[in-house]
Amino acid sequence: MKKHLQYYLSSALNSYAVLFFSKNKILGALLFVVSMFEFNAGLTGLIGVMASLVLVTALNFNKEDIKTGLYTFNSLLLGIGFGTFFSFNFTFWLWLSAACLLCVVLSVNLLSLLGKYSLPTISIPFIITFWLVLIAANGYQGMGLVQKSSSLLFELNTGAPTNFAKLCGFFDNLKIPAYALLFFRSVSAVLFQNSVLAGLLISIGVFIHSRIGFSLLLVGFITACLVNHLTGTYPDGVSNYYLGANFMMVSCAIGGFFLIPSWRSYAWAVAVIPFAFLVLNGLSRLLAIYDLPVFSMPFCLITIGLLYFFMLRKNPGKLQLTIFQNYSPETNLYQFLNGQERLKDFQYFHLSLPFMGAWTVSQGYQGEITHKNDWQHALDFVLEDMDGKSYDLPGIKPEDYYCFNKPVLAAGDGIVQEVISHIDDNIIGQVNLEQNWGNTIVIKHAEHLYSKVSHLKKNSIKVSAGDKVKQDDIIGLCGNSGRSPEPHLHFQVQATPYIGSKTLAYPFAYYASGNNTVLKSFAIPTKGETIQKAEINAYLKHAFYFQPGYINVVTDDQANKETWEVFTDVFGFTYFYCRENQAIAYFVNNSNVFYFTRFYGDRKSILFLFYQAAYKINYSTHRVSDCYAVDSENFRPSLWLQDLLAPFIIFTKNTYSNYIKPDNDGLTIHVETKKQVFKHQTRISNAEIYLDSKGIIGMDFIYKNRTLKVKWETGLV
């Protein structure tokens, strides 16, 4: 019973909060309270939400989708609209029930239809449903519906001057600038109200939820008022409903919700306002023919139209759409910035070094000799000795060069596309300009992604066109064919399968640089850099190579116990799930590293401490330096200034570092986290993770001047 109540409460609050692009329960509760300022409208709005929730739940729609509020927030608007436009009678409840059913059907269908194109429905189901109700009510003897005196009621009820009415009147007549009063009235208009107090409370809730969102409401309001002042479109001033439900909401949607907040998205939040004037005024004239209000249809059409417009770009550039929606502009931004640095595993096909041992880059991108113009993104590799020489004396024949006759490896899984293997190796100092690339192999790894190795030894190639190869398969030997005055290995990535294709800038996934001192990930080596494959520590890889079905139990010295199990979601992403508190921590583990990507749930749990301590682990035991995404989901006023400035400048970050030392029969991972504001750093916590041949055996967490010891056991249910 308790779970059912929690489900309906959470879903209902999300139905309110999503009106302002949020899933914040506090904002949802505040919007519910404010909706009750107009009691009849607030009551019918609540009835619409709950009736729709019961309907979609009874019909077995996905509960996780239902809990977001996306199936039901249009029914909330519909209920508020009914209570605002019509008086209560028997037919009121009959047609409200029918309209709610239609609204739910439209919501589900449009979510599915537009969802195929990654587009939102916003409030289109409410608008279409209520237009149909108004058209029907204007004929057929009104279908028994009794309309209130004005076509749009934004005034509070004026009857007996109750204490609440006096309070609202006090705020409506505050001695503050008229534009400030208009701003709050405009915010309240989203709930079909015209109340400064309602708008003030909503504004406070929106600000606590999102500083970026609130700033964009201001941007939309100021820009719309300025445009109206310059053009004189509305001589008596812009309607507070037009301001709130269209201009301010479209600015908020485009500037910070559906686009990653940046100065570019803010520029679009300003630029879209004149566009919104044009659409709103044109639609208003058309709809006036049928005596229909425009509602928020301009906002819906502009938002959906612009999003689809942005999606059609060949290259998104720096104006980025929000791919994974966190329902918080700050979280969207911080996760995006953090992911740009950390989540390259999902952005690139993994290419590894095409050789064994430590090789040196003799010519890098945009090289001085041959890597120019369309072929500028290429690398040449040689083997060098301690003195930096690439050959053994006398160096007059190919065999004198250290890299000659050494194995060349496939950089990634794929299918061999082209092979040339018959070209003679050159005499040292001479080049073959007619057969420029020499003996060559081209491998297809994915659509529009090919790797090419050239200047291979004659008749050394071990594959043929059409062969399937795995990463690190030996495919040939380094030689001196083609335009190669001395033995070296040429490597490039290209978008087409042809020998001589233009090159692409593309990183190697993981490699060790500088005599195995630094592990680099998704980077492009530079001239003079010596690189090699990272050596993997078997203890580390075994300890952190968690697979679906893995179960462990952790117990701290306060007798708190948590059971964690590893699952894979429908998108193929892997995560820990805590049975006791339902916390979830997503992670990646590949052949080189383990790292966490996202945490949801109780931040007082042991799983969250482990998420912070094992944020990134290199299997090669190299030191790690990393940054957490800024956590904007808790109530943290100390971050509010950063939130406001985040689209333009980041000056706060939490850093993570670790190093690994052998310890008795295992390893100890020493972890330190710090908070950095500009260049000033303060320590947040320390941790130690203990490993032996069986895996993780325990952890110590040092934070807030206390130490928490945790025991780790596996194979327990």
State the number of CA atoms in the 13 A half-sphere of 621 facing the CB.
14
Answer for the pair 437, 454: CB distance below 8 angstroms, yes or no. yes
In DSSP terms, which residues pair with 450 in a beta bridge? Answer: 444, 494
Distances, alpha carbon 536 to alpha carbons 130, 141, 511, in Å: 63, 80, 11
Same domain, 8 and 137: yes
Query: What are the residue ranges of helices labelled H in 247-312?
Result: 249-252, 263-288, 297-311
Q: Identify the burial level of 516 via C-beta atoms within 10 angstroms of its C-beta, where 0-12 means exposed, 13-18 middle and 19 or more buried.
A: middle
Same domain, 489 and 549: no
Instruction: Return the biggest CA–CA distance within the chain.
Output: 107
The tens digit of pLDDT for each residue in 67-110 reads 999 999 999 999 999 999 998 998 999 999 999 999 999 999 99
For 392-400, which contacts have Cβ atoms below 8 Å and span 24 or more sequence positions?
395/428, 396/428, 397/427, 397/428, 398/425, 398/426, 398/428, 398/479, 398/480, 398/486, 398/487, 400/428
Average pLDDT of the residues in 587-601: 92
State the number of CA atoms in the 13 A half-sphere of 430 facing the CB.
11
Strand 489-494 versus strand 503-504 pairing type: antiparallel
Same domain, 426 and 555: no
> Is position 626 within any domain?
yes
Same domain, 84 and 6: yes
> Is position 196 within any domain?
no
> Is position 515 within any domain?
no
Strand 359-363 versus strand 530-532 pairing type: antiparallel
CA–CA dist 254, 19 (Å, integer): 15
Is the pLDDT reported for residue 717 higher than 70?
no
Q: Identify the burial level of 686 via C-beta atoms within 10 angstroms of its C-beta, where 0-12 means exposed, 13-18 middle and 19 or more buried.
A: middle
> Is position 465 within any domain?
yes
> Is position 518 within any domain?
no
Instruction: Quote helix, strand, coil % in the chain, to nearest 5.
Output: 40, 25, 35
In DSSP terms, which residues pair with 446 in a beta bridge? Answer: 449
Torsion angle, alpha carbons of 109, 110, 114, 118, to 10: -90
Structural tokens at position 674: 């710090």
Q: What is the DSSP string of 181-201?
A: HHHHHHHHGGGT---HHHHHH
Q: How many domains in the chain?
A: 3
Same domain, 480 and 542: no
Torsion angle, alpha carbons of 557, 558, 559, 565, to 10: -80
Q: What is the mean pLDDT of the chain?
A: 92
pLDDT bucket at 142, cuts 50 / 70 / 90: low
Q: Could you report how far apart the first and last alpha carbons of the chain are, in Å?
A: 26
CA–CA dist 125, 102 (Å, integer): 8
Nearest residue to 501 via CA among 378, 402, 401, 408: 378
Measured at the CA of 354, the angle between CA 350 and CA 356, to 5 degrees, comes to: 120
The tens digit of pLDDT for each residue in 659-672 reads 999 887 889 999 99
pLDDT reported for residue 606:
95
What percent of the chain lies above the pLDDT cut of 90? 79
Contacts of 264 (CB under 8 A, 6+ apart): 318, 319
The tens digit of pLDDT for each residue in 405-461 reads 999 999 999 999 999 999 999 999 999 988 999 999 999 999 999 999 999 999 999
Contacts of 99 (CB under 8 A, 6+ apart): 78, 82, 129, 130, 132, 133
Same domain, 454 and 572: no
Which domain CATH number covers 67?
Answer: 1.10.3430.10
Give the dihedral sign, CA 363/364/368/371: positive
Question: φ and ψ at 647, to 5 degrees?
Answer: -65, -15
Cα-trace Rg, the chain: 32
Same domain, 549 and 498: no
pLDDT bucket at 156, cuts 50 / 70 / 90: very low
Q: Which of 134, 154, 176 delimits the end of a domain?
A: 176
CA–CA dist 70, 61 (Å, integer): 12
Q: Which of 128, 156, 176 delimits the end of a domain?
A: 176
Structural tokens at position 406: 């050494």
Answer for the pair 491, 453: CB distance below 8 angstroms, yes or no. yes
Nearest residue to 322 via CA among 252, 250, 256: 256
Contacts of 438 (CB under 8 A, 6+ apart): 420, 423, 432, 454, 455, 456, 479, 480, 481, 482, 483, 484
> Is position 556 within any domain?
yes
pLDDT bucket at 154, cuts 50 / 70 / 90: very low
Place of tokens 């100065």: 263
> Is position 224 within any domain?
no
Question: φ and ψ at 359, to 5 degrees?
Answer: -115, 155
Distances, alpha carbon 505 to alpha carbons 22, 440, 686, in Å: 39, 19, 39
Same domain, 479 and 559: no
H/E stretch holding 33: helix 25-35
Q: Which of 506, 528, 563 delimits the end of a domain?
A: 506
Domain that holds residue 13: 1-176
> Is position 612 within any domain?
yes
Question: φ and ψ at 55, to 5 degrees?
Answer: -65, -55
Same domain, 557 and 422: no
pLDDT reported for residue 715:
65
Strand 359-363 versus strand 414-420 pairing type: unpaired
Same domain, 489 and 578: no
Same domain, 690 and 556: yes
Average pLDDT of the residues in 104-122: 94
pLDDT reported for residue 151:
40
The tens digit of pLDDT for each residue in 632-687 reads 766 778 889 999 999 999 999 999 999 999 887 889 999 999 999 998 999 989 99
Same domain, 496 and 561: no
Nearest residue to 39 via CA among 162, 181, 131, 170: 162
pLDDT bucket at 168, cuts 50 / 70 / 90: confident
Nearest residue to 239 via CA among 298, 307, 176, 167: 298
Buried b (16+ CB within 10 A) or exposed e, 306-316: bbeebeeeeee
Helix (H, G, I), strand (E, B) or coil at 342: helix
Is the pLDDT reported for residue 175 higher than 80?
yes
Nearest residue to 672 via CA among 689, 687, 691, 654: 687
Number of helices followed by number of strands (H, E) in the chain = 19, 25
pLDDT reported for residue 531:
95
The tens digit of pLDDT for each residue in 222-233 reads 999 999 999 999
Contacts of 325 (CB under 8 A, 6+ apart): 332
CA–CA dist 36, 394 (Å, integer): 92
Distances, alpha carbon 185 to alpha carbons 127, 157, 194, 307, in Å: 21, 15, 5, 28
Is the pLDDT reported for residue 149 higher than 80?
no
Average pLDDT of the residues in 16-34: 94
Structural tokens at position 705: 């001047």
Which domain CATH number covers 465?
Answer: 2.70.70.10
pLDDT reported for residue 158:
43
CA–CA dist 22, 19 (Å, integer): 7
